[in-house]
């Protein structure tokens, strides 16, 4: 790993500012790597999860990754251009501009839940910005990690892209390398450790974390439509999504109808759940046990569990059926769930629902449902979240012109599209002095002329 990092650094120093044709070729190589290995990646993820449908991998990972590369190829040359900015009145006729420059070597730590999208997305930003990259894949998806590493070695030279696989100790060593930028996607607890390791080298970080992302159904919102969009976002990847709706705030008295609609939705979209090939499994035994323990703790604390399917949990197959929980207790009420379990929390007045969100760390995503513009304005002005989809879930992450990132406990920094290019670049400010200028008028000795000029300059 250290030898590969040194090779990346040496290559970055030798070719500090690659031109657009070189960057575009790297992006095309990235697209070819994904297209030619699409089925192998999906098969590897199916082995890692125990069951992960190819259709879900194509929709949630391959499509947005390829679309992001296409977007960068269309716009990257324009992102590279110098950006003229104004100069202050007293400095004219000098000129100023911002010149994007590559940072050098970018480190990327990839989680297990969406490893295709969360590898290729950051790599798109890194390559478009002219960087080289070293990527650490999750030990919890070993089949994918092995397949990705082999594919990367066939498509890229190791002084352009280097892949690291291994467990937590190697991850600690990886995050301690003196990268020019480090992007981590994962839990808030591990994010704190990553930031601490990076701080020893003053490495800037982008942290894409998580948290309890709420869906809020306003009194005027059509409940059936809200249930449809919330359940779609919740059960993708069996809820193992950092921006999945974690819990639902809904008007008091609507819980029973929500549960009935959700049960009907599951029956239509995932019939015969235990044998359904479209329903993803939980990634490993430890995650399955955690979810089962949290459900039992909630039940013991007085919560009511509402199964949405006839299928019981099956630890041997890591099948966790969708479940709604009312009166949530314990970790389900306090921790990010990361599974197909959905607490319902009724509220009286809309302000009560907003206050519930404000009393907790800022979420990675927020999903307000309302047809009333005044209600939406109020909610968007009140709730701070990493990103928002109005009257839907998840879809803001797929918009290339929207930066994706967290705020507070849910992360720092954002990428995707030009925001990713800028995040992986040094936006170098450049001031160009004019041949004829008045800078000398302000040099010592500070006599009458200086006093006259400074009086004029200090006027508001």
Q: How many angstroms separate the Cα of 280 from the Cα of each of 59, 114, 449?
A: 14, 12, 77
The verdict on whether omega for the bond into residue 445 sits within 30 degrees of 0, i.e. cis, is: yes
Cα(11)–Cα(132) distance, integer angstroms: 8
Q: 190 by DSSP, 3-state: which?
A: helix
Residue (of 146, 194, 192) closest to 166 by Cα position: 146
Which two tokens mark 214? 């709420």
Q: 243 by DSSP, 3-state: which?
A: coil
Which two tokens mark 320? 């966790």
Cα(4)–Cα(163) distance, integer angstroms: 9
- Per-residue three-class SS string for 394-442: CHHHHCCCCCEECCHHHEECEECHHHHHHHCEEEEEEEECCCCCCHHHH
Does the annotation count 208 as an active-site position?
Answer: yes
Cα(29)–Cα(151) distance, integer angstroms: 11
Q: Which residues of 81-108 are buried (b: 16+ CB within 10 A; e: fewer)?
A: eeeeeebeeebeeeeeebebebbbbbbb
Residue (of 155, 130, 134, 107) closest to 4 by Cα position: 134
Q: How many angstroms separate the Cα of 52 from the Cα of each of 104, 269, 343?
A: 36, 16, 24
Out of 61, 242, 280, 336, the active site residue is 242
Q: Kindly calculate the radius of gyration of the chain based on its CA atoms and give it in whole angstroms.
A: 25
Task: Provide the 8-state DSSP code for 314.
Answer: B
Q: 212 by DSSP, 3-state: which?
A: coil
Return the bridge partners of 347, or none.
251
Which two tokens mark 370? 């309302």
Cα(55)–Cα(356) distance, integer angstroms: 36
Return the bridge partners of 432, or none.
95
End-to-end CA distance of the chain: 57
Cα(217)–Cα(230) distance, integer angstroms: 10
For 366, how many CA atoms within 13 A lie in the half-sphere containing its CB? 26
Q: 331 and 296 in contact (C-beta within 8 Å)?
A: no
Does the annotation count 280 as an active-site position?
Answer: no
Out of 56, 208, 280, 336, the active site residue is 208
Report the catalytic residues. Answer: 208, 242
């Amino acid at each position: 790993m250290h030898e590969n990092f040194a090779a990346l650094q040496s290559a970055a120093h030798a070719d500090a500012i690659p031109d657009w044709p070189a960057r575009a070729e790297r992006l095309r190589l990235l697209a070819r790597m994904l297209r030619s290995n699409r089925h192998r990646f999906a098969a590897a993820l199916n082995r890692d999860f125990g069951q992960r449908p190819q259709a879900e991998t194509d929709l949630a990972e391959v499509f947005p990754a390829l679309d992001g590369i296409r977007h960068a190829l269309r716009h990257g040359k324009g992102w590279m251009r110098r950006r003229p900015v104004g100069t202050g009145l007293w400095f004219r006729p000098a000129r100023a501009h911002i010149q994007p420059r590559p940072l050098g070597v970018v480190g990327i730590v990839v989680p297990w839940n969406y490893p295709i999208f969360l590898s290729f997305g950051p790599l798109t930003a890194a390559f478009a910005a002219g960087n080289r990259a070293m990527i650490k894949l999750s030990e919890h998806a070993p089949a994918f990690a092995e397949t990705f590493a082999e594919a990367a070695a066939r498509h890229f030279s190791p002084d352009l892209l280097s892949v690291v696989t291994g467990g937590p100790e190697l991850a600690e060593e990886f995050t301690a390398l003196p990268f020019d930028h480090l992007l981590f996607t994962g839990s808030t607890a591990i994010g704190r450790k990553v930031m601490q390791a990076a701080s020893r080298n003053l490495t800037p970080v982008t942290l894409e974390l998580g948290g309890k992302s709420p869906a809020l159904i306003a009194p005027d919102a059509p409940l059936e439509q809200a249930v449809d969009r919330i359940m779609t976002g919740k059960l993708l990847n069996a809820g193992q999504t950092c921006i999945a709706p974690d819990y639902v705030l809904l008007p008091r008295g609507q819980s029973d109808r929500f549960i009935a609609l959700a049960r009907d939705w599951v029956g239509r979209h995932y019939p015969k759940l235990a044998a359904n090939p479209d329903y993803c499994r939980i990634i490993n035994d430890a995650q399955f046990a955690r979810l089962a323990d949290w459900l039992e703790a909630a039940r013991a604390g007085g919560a009511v569990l509402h199964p949405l399917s006839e299928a019981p949990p099956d630890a041997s197959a890591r099948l966790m059926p969708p479940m709604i929980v009312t009166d949530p207790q314990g970790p389900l009420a306090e921790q990010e769930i990361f599974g197909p379990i959905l607490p319902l929390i009724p509220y009286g007045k809309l302000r009560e629902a907003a206050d519930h969100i404000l009393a907790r760390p800022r979420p990675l995503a927020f999903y307000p449902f309302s047809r009333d513009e005044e209600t939406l304005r109020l909610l968007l002005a009140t709730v701070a979240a990493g990103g928002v989809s109005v009257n839907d879930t998840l879809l803001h992450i797929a918009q290339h012109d929207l930066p994706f990132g967290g705020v507070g406990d849910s992360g720092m920094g954002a990428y995707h599209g030009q925001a990713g290019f800028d995040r992986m670049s040094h936006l170098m400010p450049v001031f160009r002095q004019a041949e004829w200028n008045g800078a000398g008028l302000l040099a010592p000795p500070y006599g009458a002329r200086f006093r006259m000029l400074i009086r004029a300059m200090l006027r508001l």
